Structures are given as C-alpha cells and as structure tokens.
Amino acid sequence: MDSVKPAEQSAKTKTRTAQCGCGGLGITVSGEPRSVYACACLECQRATGTAFSYRAVFVDEAVVQIEGERRSWRRTGGPGRWVEQTFCPTCGALVFMTGEGLPGAVSVSVGCFAEPDFAPPATLFRARRKHHWFEPGPATRISD
C-alpha cells in the first residue's frame, strides 16, 4: 500500500482520519466504508486487548494518505490466511490492517476515528467466542 494516493474527491465526499492514541500514526480515508463489522475471535481479542474488534472496511482507493511512523505484524488468521496489522510503534495502537481474505481493502479500527456516531457493526464474526456479557444490537447479523 502506498503512503499517499491521489485523491479524486468531489466536494460532497466525506473524508475522515483515524489516529492512534498519541497522534503519531494516521490514515485518512474518503467516502463511506464498504462494510462495518465486529469480530470476537481470540486473535482479535488479543490484538485489541479487549473483547472484540470493531472495524470499517474501505477499498484501497479510498485511502487518501497514511502519515507517521508505523510497524506491521503479519499473523495467520481464519482459515490459514494472513492478516497484517499496522500499529503505532510509540503507543502501540492498532490503527488498520489488510488481509489475504480482503484483497483490495483496508480495515480501519473504528475507535481510532473517535466518532461516537460511527455506524454500528452490521455483522459480528466468530460470535461463539464472544464474552457472555456482550449482546450485539438486534440488527447485527451473527456469524459463527
């Protein structure tokens, strides 16, 4: 993924920037996400340090800019496919990821947008691994 991509945006296209906790790493995207999901698999729990991940998927062409120092770590996910997680080396926040199972797309950690009104997850993946207290909204599709 290039650090900077040309942005051909209309005046109506919304851009938003997701940043890590210290502000050292940011990714700016244009337009609306292709999808928004949560995942309760053990790998996502460990990667986020909480009960599930909450991410928005954007097509690669939506990435306007990536700024700041970053580190990446590639792990094996789901059915043996790789997932590359990109995080800030200073504060450790996982800002975005790419994966073999989502070619041509980037998944951005929704919490890094700091927008409390961001769309809720449409799907909860690996629901059988969710913590007992977590109840997704009634419109959330459940996938085991």
Please report the pLDDT score of residue 125 as a whole number.
86
Expressed as residue numbers, the domain containing 79 is 15-142
Please report the pLDDT score of residue 109 as a whole number.
97
Inside any domain, residue 132: yes
Per-10-residue mean pLDDT, the chain, length 144: 48 88 98 95 88 95 98 85 95 96 95 94 87 85 84
CA 32, CA 27: separation in Å to the nearest integer? 14
Inside any domain, residue 21: yes
Inside any domain, residue 138: yes
Inside any domain, residue 2: no
Inside any domain, residue 80: yes
Output the pTM of the full model: 0.86
Inside any domain, residue 48: yes
CA 109, CA 126: separation in Å to the nearest integer? 17
Kindly tell me the sign of the dihedral angle through the C-alpha atoms of 48, 2, 7, 67. Answer: positive
Please report the pLDDT score of residue 1 as a whole number.
52
Inside any domain, residue 9: no
DSSP label of 108: E
Please report the pLDDT score of residue 78 as a whole number.
65
33 C-beta neighbours (distance < 10 Å), count: 22
Please report the pLDDT score of residue 9 as a whole number.
46
Inside any domain, residue 49: yes
The CATH code of the domain that includes 75 is 2.170.150.70
Please report the pLDDT score of residue 7 as a whole number.
45
Which structure tokens are listed for 84? Answer: 């590359």
Instruction: Give the chain's length.
Output: 144
Domain count of the chain?
1
